Amino acid sequence: MKDACPLRVFLCNGAPRPKSVPAGAHVTALNYLNDDPERLVTLRLPKFVDQLYHLPDRILDLLELAAYVFAADRATFRGAKDAVEYHAWPRAMLFSMRVRDAEFWNQPRVKEKLSAAIRFMTGDCEYSFDFLEGHTTPPTSLFDREEFAIAPRGPASVALFSGGLDSLAGVLERLATTSEDIYLISHRSGQPSTKKTQAALVRVLCANHPGRVHHYSFDCGLAHVRGVEETQRTRAFLFGSIAFAVAHRIGLDSFFAFENGVTSLNFLRRQDLMNARASRTTHPQTHALMADFFAEVRGGPVRVLNPFWTKTKADVFALLDKVGGRDLINSSVSCSKTFNRLVGSATHCGCCFQCVDRRIAAYAAGLHEIDNAGIYSADIFRDRIEADEARTTALDYVRQAVHFATATDDGFFMERLAELSDVTPFVGMEEDAAVDAVWALCRRHGEQVLQGLDEVRRRFDDLRFPLADGSLLQLIATRAHLVGDAADKGPTLATVQAGILELQQMTNPISGAVARIEKTVATVHEHVRGVPVMQADLAEARVAPEAAALEIYNRIADILTPEEQTIWRAVRNSGGSQKNALESLRKSGVVKSAATLSRRVRGIDEKLRKNNLPPCNASSPAMRFTKGGGHANEEGMTVTEEISAVERDWADDPADRDTTIRAYLAASPEGKASFEQRKPGIKDEAAKHLGRHR
């Protein structure tokens, strides 16, 4: 993994280079203080603190850390978008940073929870941290003291506010259905359009709800250099840290992060969209891991709330209309590529996933006249989609929606086992209810997309004129979305990862030895096929791999619980297929659902890999092993311990069966006894063989 993820090192707040960093590592110094002419980070922390009067040292450390992680993310290229290999996108990052509260930050539990949250949301292979003492900053004002605090007049809540449809709908719903004051948290990375969008919406909210809306903005981005990585996976950590800081300051233990469930869960639309390629910035597990980490910082429970995780984008449109946000729809910005040059007064590129989702959802919700086409730089419905990436995005979106609308619930569960296991433990429901909620969300999304596209076709598919070649209407008219995606035509990340895992298993001490011995046995077997005496000798030579395999079994028995061993055996005996193992495990009462099985298998595999043992999906052993002897018999004599193996289905291959029978017939009485022990039924098969050849 070290070769797959070359280490990138970031020295923050003047921290020295760690001695453990290898000589060839890429090292970058990050600093945000204005007195550093070569600073690479813009972080207006004093301005933010001044809005809040005072923040404790630990919270200041958190905000600086989140800013540095975000800056490092944007400054470190993941890889080409067309790169299929797994190692092309994940990165390994080490941060050495001077902080104010080094004792807290260097606790192993704190570091592990911090790393776990960022690893999951980014898909990167590693984030590690080295915290040093010695960092201080002067007070921002005379009021930068603990005794000066923000005191809400009554009930209050904190919400992330990006200026997009989802955050706008969430805030409007809270204002319409509660008497709370709303503290809006925005992150600005330097794009003027984002600042204008947020400021314009906040002005309207303040005017419509006097005294209830309070806006706090946090400016953070790269300085003097342009970001080479625009995916911004770690923005979720920065955004969440800002919201947590404000919530903590006003005495709250939670904040809202509104995002529709289809975007939040972000189920794979293609096989190569996985790990670091698939955004998890508002995924339920991301929120759970961040809350777990923030709880360490706070010293008490923290909740990150997303009431929209069961809503589609069309549902969000409908909610906006319901809570009086109809006139603000055109002022919100959902585009993920606002940094691109747009045409005229357009605020959206029109081609990214978020734009495609928004446009079709507007038609599904009957609000397409409000979500005016003039805000989109490109009209994907009627004009040719020029960029290959944009065309793939649109077709993948439609293809997935069609699949959701037509799939059965059982088919959906089996195809999404791994993804469901990442979701269901983190949404505050019983597992079966959570799975049903995810299925209902995806099914409704699929049906709404088809409904929206039907409306688009009704309006723009004029039979008197040809459709523009390469437009979305022309592509779906030719059913391009029903053609398998390009990732199916060549190696995928899934197959590459499977190969990597196989290689890792072969190189560990035990399974590697078994693989080498079995390969030698197979080679010898080819040369001695049909030579009975040598066949018998070969059978004796199999004791070595049998012993090694038995050792694996014994070690697994020490590591796994009896229930985990049952799951491991069931999956192994099903050729690594969870789907095939599920029925027997359900009958035995070990698991109740496919999602449970997938989650249990992931936990079992994690234990096994830590101990260099093959995971559940490794090839099943060809034999069943027993161990006998090693005790004193009735005469007081020690019975030697022996390893025995019973070969399963040894007679399935007719050619191999006849050769084995001839070897059995030529063997000595002791040899025959060994054959009969290892190959059940061989004595009867030999009798039949003799009867046929007399």
Query: Distance (Å, rounded) from C-alpha 453 to C-alpha 481?
Result: 13
Contacts 24+ apart (CB under 8 A), 514-520: 514/545, 514/548, 514/549, 514/552, 517/544, 517/545, 517/548, 518/545
DSSP helix/strand/coil, 188:
strand
Element (H, E) at 94: strand 92-98
pLDDT digits 0-9 by tens, 588-642: 888 888 888 888 888 888 888 777 777 787 654 444 545 566 667 677 777 665 5
What are φ and ψ of residue 631, in 5° steps? -145, 170
Q: Which two tokens stand for residue 193?
A: 């359009």
Per-residue H/E/C for 598-655: HHHHHHHHHHHHHCCCCCCCCCCCCEEEEEECCEECCCCCEECCEEEEEECCCCCCHH
Residue 164: closest CA among 375, 332, 415, 363:
332
Query: Distance (Å, rounded) from C-alpha 379 to C-alpha 634?
Result: 89
Query: Distance (Å, rounded) from C-alpha 567 to C-alpha 554?
Result: 16
Q: Say yes or no to pLDDT of 87 above 50.
A: no
Percent residues over pLDDT 70 in the chain? 74
Q: Are 123 and 277 in contact (CB under 8 A)?
A: yes
Q: Are 470 and 584 in contact (CB under 8 A)?
A: no
**Least confident window among 40-44, 143-147, 373-377, 490-494:** 490-494
Q: Say yes or no to pLDDT of 393 above 80.
A: yes
Query: Distance (Å, rounded) from C-alpha 414 to C-alpha 597?
Result: 11
Query: Distance (Å, rounded) from C-alpha 666 to C-alpha 682?
Result: 13
Residue 186: closest CA among 173, 207, 200:
200
If one counts every other C-beta atom within 10 angstroms of the C-beta of residue 603, the result is 14
Residue 282: closest CA among 305, 307, 259:
259
Strand partners, 221: 42
For helices 431-460 and 594-610, what crossing angle results, to 10°?
110
Q: What is the pLDDT of residue 205?
A: 96
What does the CA dihedral 13, 17, 18, 19 come to, rounded to 10 degrees?
-160
Q: What count of Cα atoms within 13 Å lies in the side-chain half-sphere of residue 333?
A: 24
CA 445 vs CA 215, 269, 560: distances in Å: 33, 14, 40
Q: What count of Cα atoms within 13 Å lies in the side-chain half-sphere of residue 404?
A: 24
Chain-centroid distance of CA 533 in Å reads 55
pTM across the whole model: 0.71
Q: What is the pLDDT of residue 536?
A: 45
Q: Give the model's confidence band at 273: pLDDT under 50 very low, under 70 low, under 90 confident, else very high.
A: low
Q: Are 255 and 243 in contact (CB under 8 A)?
A: yes
Rounded to a whole number of angstroms, the CA Rg of the chain reads: 31
Query: Distance (Å, rounded) from C-alpha 377 to C-alpha 347?
Result: 7
Q: How many residues does the chain have?
A: 694
Q: Give the model's confidence band at 35: pLDDT under 50 very low, under 70 low, under 90 confident, else very high.
A: low
Q: Buried b / exposed e across 400-436, counting CB within 10 Å, b at 16+?
A: bbbbbbebeeeebbbbbbebbbbbbbbbeeebeebbe
Q: Is the dihedral of CA 392, 397, 398, 401 positive or negative?
A: positive
Strand partners, 632: 638
Residue 246: closest CA among 176, 149, 163:
149
What are φ and ψ of residue 626, in 5° steps? -130, 155
Q: What is the mean pLDDT of the chain?
A: 80
Q: What is the pLDDT of residue 531?
A: 43
Q: Say yes or no to pLDDT of 268 above 60.
A: yes
Q: Give the model's confidence band at 232: pLDDT under 50 very low, under 70 low, under 90 confident, else very high.
A: confident
Q: What is the pLDDT of residue 279?
A: 74
pLDDT digits 0-9 by tens, 109-162: 999 999 999 999 988 888 999 999 999 887 765 445 554 556 677 899 999 999
Q: Give the model's confidence band at 533: pLDDT under 50 very low, under 70 low, under 90 confident, else very high.
A: very low
Q: Are 165 and 332 in contact (CB under 8 A)?
A: yes
Residue 613: closest CA among 506, 479, 541:
506
Amino acid at position 338, single letter: T
Q: Give the model's confidence band at 202: pLDDT under 50 very low, under 70 low, under 90 confident, else very high.
A: very high
Q: Are 136 and 100 in contact (CB under 8 A)?
A: yes
Query: Distance (Å, rounded) from C-alpha 632 to C-alpha 610?
Result: 37
Conformational region of residue 96, where left means phi above 0, alpha means psi within -120 to 50, and beta covers everything else: beta
Query: Distance (Å, rounded) from C-alpha 55 to C-alpha 58?
Result: 8
Q: Are 166 and 259 in contact (CB under 8 A)?
A: yes
**Least confident window among 203-212, 489-498, 617-626:** 489-498
Strand partners, 98: 132
Query: Distance (Å, rounded) from C-alpha 614 to C-alpha 630?
Result: 28
